[in-house]
Structure 1
């Protein structure tokens, strides 16, 4: 989740993370949402060990709650909160290639029936969002197309 940035890669190993309402200025009902999904400490520990063995500086954080980058999409995908979740942070020094490499390291988990989700949005200025309109802010639209162009021009095709 891009909502959790850290110095190095951290994996949420909290067995029962709280629903963290890490935002402000929204309707009161949003702050009453509770997503009581379980974490998976065993998978978090195993994943940390696997990534460390591959040279990725990784630690397990057993205290972190789930931020809205986790629960806001998953409350719609899994409303019963019946799928255990393991959240990864986004290391602050990771560039697009480092993120691509991490994704390649995580890709084999799909064969183990692990669903990998990258949540978030291209832009995140909620103060300018008009929820009652389908209109997209011109700056956000311009940035979106610039980003798509950059990704097409500089997308890695294989790991070094």
Structure 2
């Protein structure tokens, strides 16, 4: 069964960087069975109703400013697969989750920056999914659970976001790691590895420095979605964790 994954996408410039994290992403395909399709929840696509992409060949969305010119020349011309999009929508319907197909939206950097490192040839069908920050954490998890059977069909489920994501606290010149960011991530690690969903659903009240780490929750949601997709086996493995700019976490979790 294909594991589900959470990948932090960091700053958009991550796609240009060479470090331990990007090396992990670049080598991912070498030790992972080739998926039939990729279903990816992006923190940068927010909708009030669960949206499922079905756009044919995707345009590349540059939803950021002030970065290297090279980033704005990059493209990721992946295509969707209508049959997979409709299957995703059918699974949502089966679990009582309203959804709509979106035939126009391209891939934002939460999707393409990660995918360009994982599968640079853009030759695997991609189904992008939106997130909704106003749902409870339990419901986020249940949305991931609804798609779990796709893993049995060689579909790769990815949540793309970031556990510690507070742009106001970034130190662009820092080479160290802020203690509060590490303490929050360590708490999250403990609860993921013990599969303590009740604690995770209440992380804002229970986790140290939760308000600093997660001032808004759209980047945290993809972690719960990816975890939910792994509910049948309930095994979480941290593949990597590092930080940019003092506290912007770059983590990769595998759920299988």
Q: TM-score, length-normalised on structure 2?
A: 0.55
CA offsets per residue over residues 8-61 of structure 1, 9 Å max, x none? 111111111111110111111111111111112221122112211321011111
Offset of 1:81 from its aligned partner? 0.7
Is 1:154 aligned to 2:204, yes or no? Answer: no
Aligned alpha-carbon RMSD (Å): 2.6
Instruction: State whether residues 91 and 146 of structure 2, in contact with CA within 8 Å, keep that contact through their aligned partners in structure 1.
Output: no
Equivalent-residue separation in structure 1 for 2:80 and 2:175 (angstroms): 35
CA offsets per residue over residues 41-99 of structure 1, 9 Å max, x none? 22112211221132101111111110011111110110111111001111232222111
Instruction: State whether residues 39 and 85 of structure 1, in contact with CA within 8 Å, keep that contact through their aligned partners in structure 2.
Output: yes
Query: What SS does the corresponding residue of 1:118 show, helix, strand or coil?
Result: strand
Tell me the number of residue pairs that the alignment of Structure 1 and Structure 2 aligns: 158
Equivalent-residue separation in structure 1 for 2:102 and 2:181 (angstroms): 33
- 1:136 pairs, out of 165, 170, 177, with 177
Query: What SS does the corresponding residue of 2:52 show, helix, strand or coil?
Result: strand
Equivalent-residue separation in structure 2 for 1:66 and 1:57 (angstroms): 22
- 1:10 pairs, out of 51, 59, 69, with 51
Is 1:113 aligned to 2:154, yes or no? Answer: yes
Query: What SS does the corresponding residue of 2:110 show, helix, strand or coil?
Result: helix
Structure 1: tracts of 5 or more residues without a match: none
Between 1:72-81 and 1:117-126, the stretch displaced more is: 117-126
Offset of 1:125 from its aligned partner? 4.0
Offset of 1:142 from its aligned partner? 4.6
Instruction: State whether residues 8 and 58 of structure 1, in contact with CA within 8 Å, keep that contact through their aligned partners in structure 2.
Output: yes
Instruction: State whether residues 38 and 84 of structure 1, in contact with CA within 8 Å, keep that contact through their aligned partners in structure 2.
Output: yes
Instruction: State whether residues 188 and 200 of structure 2, in contact with CA within 8 Å, keep that contact through their aligned partners in structure 1.
Output: no
Between 1:36-45 and 1:143-152, the stretch displaced more is: 143-152
Equivalent-residue separation in structure 2 for 1:6 and 1:22 (angstroms): 16
Equivalent-residue separation in structure 2 for 1:138 and 1:26 (angstroms): 27
Is 1:54 aligned to 2:95, yes or no? Answer: yes
Q: TM-score, length-normalised on structure 1?
A: 0.84
Equivalent-residue separation in structure 1 for 2:177 and 2:136 (angstroms): 27
Report what 2:125 is aligned to. Answer: 84
Aligned ranges 1:62-101 → 2 under 5 Å: 62-101=103-142
Q: Which is strand-richer, 1 or 2?
A: 2
Instruction: State whether residues 8 and 92 of structure 1, in contact with CA within 8 Å, keep that contact through their aligned partners in structure 2.
Output: no
